[in-house]
Every structure is written in structure tokens, then in C-alpha cells.
Amino acid sequence: MNKTNHPELENLVEELVCTANTNIDKTEPVVSGLQTIGKKLLTEYELKIDINGKTITIEPLRLEPYLFCKGFADKFMHYIKDNIRYYGPKQRNRFGKLYIHSGYSGVDLVLSNNENYAFSFLIKNSRISVDGEIVLPFTKQYGVAGLLKDHGVPIDYDEVVLCAKKVPNKSVVFQTIRNGLLTISERDDFSKEEQDKFNTLLIASFIELKEHTSCQFDFETGYGGDRAVVEYLKKYKKEHPETSVDELDRMRKQLFPNGSKSEFVKEFKN
């Protein structure tokens, strides 16, 4: 169990920040980098918290990234305000550690290695074990935070928790938008026009769609499991242009047997 040495992941983060800072106002390469890191976290990593003689293991099932740097100033990031707003004070230079929100309202995994940028992934859905026994097979954002509180994990917990999985999860990784951002009020530093550059980016990643319902995940309206599968198939079709619509439809049924065909028809059969 290695909680401190993740050079491949750290390199991906460094590349992401460099890409963002050298491609200002170009979101596509940043979106691609966020998707890559999200996929790696979901399939290759888990979080382990040793507290009061117990080991809590969090397996993320859906993650939402928040990045604030010179070239990608996502002001949906948490901030503190004195004379000016300072974004991500708890999400800087704490690679592999938790950021537990005030009031235990959520938990992020921090992936920033210095003070020049803030970067973390909010754990929206997860599976949680305590001493190897699954206690929450599928829980939402507040469930993660609540369990940590119940087990005495303090808000300012400052240990590295990131661990490589012994066996990678081979589930298909899908992308959707982050929840709750479409209705955020305009601020003096964050106009609706600027918000719209970030609030529909397909940068939230999730797995195990087939094992759960779209309602369980509680996706943003209009961006549910069916839409995520279509986005996955669009990308697949782009990489494999010879794939027929019938073949894509067979893939759709395998990826999400309980899903609807309506989004697929709108995209591929018009």
C-alpha cells in the first residue's frame, strides 16, 4: 500500500496545469486532461483513512474536478474572501490528502503539489468499507462526509490517503457535467457568461453505470446515463469511423441495459 509515491499521476497533474497555463482560453486540451486523470483515479486508486484503530476505504464511483490556475480560472472552486477572493485555500499543495468541507458537507481529494494552483476532485458517489467490510455499497456526497464524521475523522485531517488499488477496476468510464452549477447565482467576480464557459464541460467521470440506476447517481437534469452513453459512443465512433449504427446500438445495450434508446436515436439515427 503506497500512500506517497505516485509519479505517473503527479506527472499527469503537472502536464495538465502546464497545458492550461499555455493554452489560455482553450478548454479542449484541459477537458481531455481532466478526463484522463478522472479515469485513472476511478480505475486505479482508492482512499484509505486510518483512524481510531480502524481503516476506512473509499472507492470513488463518481468524481467532479475543480481546477483553479492562471489558464483555467474555474471560480466554482471554493474560496475565502478578505479584501479579495482567494480560491481553493484548502486545495493547494496537499497532494493525496482530503479536503473535508465545513460542516462535513462534502469531501475532496486534493491533487495540487504547490501553492500556485488549486486542484481537487469532489467525491460525488462512492463505495465505502471499514476494516474490509462494505458498509455503504453506494453513497452520495453527504454520505461520505457523514461516515468520516461518525468515525471521528477531524475536519483538518492532514494525512495522505491516496493509495493504488491492488487490482484495477476495469469498468467503462463515462463523463458527464458537474452537478448543481447551472443554477449558481451570478457574482460580481463571476458573471453568467463566464460561468457558462465551465458549467457544461464533460469533466465529471463515473463508473459502474450498469450496476446502478441513473436515478441513484442523481445526475444533472438532461445529462443522465443515456446521455453519458451517447457521449461515450460518439467518442468511440470518432476513433473507429467504420463502426456501424447497429454495432453502436449493440454497444449501447451492453453498456447500459436498463437505459432508454431515445438519446441514441436523436444522435445517430437522424
Going by C-alpha positions, the residue among 158, 44, 155, 57 that lies closest to residue 106 is: 155
What lies within 8 Å, CB to CB, of 197 at 6+ separation is: 27
Instruction: State phi, psi for 26 to the nearest 5 degrees.
Output: -110, 105
- The dihedral built from the CA positions of residue 156, 159, 160 and 163, taken in this order, carries a sign that is negative
What is the number of other CB atoms lying within 10 angstroms of the CB of residue 234? 13
pLDDT tens digits, 35-67: 999 999 999 999 999 999 999 999 999 999 999
pLDDT tens digit sequence for 180-193: 999 999 999 999 99
The C-alpha atoms of residue 258 and residue 153 are separated, in whole angstroms, by 38
DSSP string, 14-47: HHHHHHHHHSTT--HHHHHHHHHHHHHHHHHEEE
Q: Model pTM?
A: 0.96
3-state secondary structure of 193: helix
DSSP state at residue 103: G
Instruction: Give per-residue pLDDT as tens, 107-153.
Output: 999 999 999 999 999 999 999 999 999 999 999 999 999 999 999 99
Give the best-scoring range by mean pLDDT among 14-18, 25-29, 78-82: 14-18
Confidence of residue 270 (pLDDT cuts 50, 70, 90): low
Q: How far is residue 112's CA from residue 46's CA, in Å, rounded to a whole number? A: 17
pLDDT-based confidence at 2, cuts 50/70/90? very low
Encode pLDDT of 155-212 as tens digits.
999 999 999 999 999 999 999 999 999 999 999 999 999 999 999 999 999 999 999 9
Quickly name the fold that domain 7-206 has: 3-methyladenine DNA Glycosylase; Chain A (3.10.300)
Buried b (16+ CB within 10 A) or exposed e, 202-212: bbbbbbbbeeb
Region for 88 from its dihedrals, namely left if φ exceeds 0, alpha if ψ lies in -120 to 50, beta otherwise: left
Tell me, what amino acid is at 152? G
Please give the span between the terminal C-alpha atoms of the chain, in angstroms, as a whole number: 50
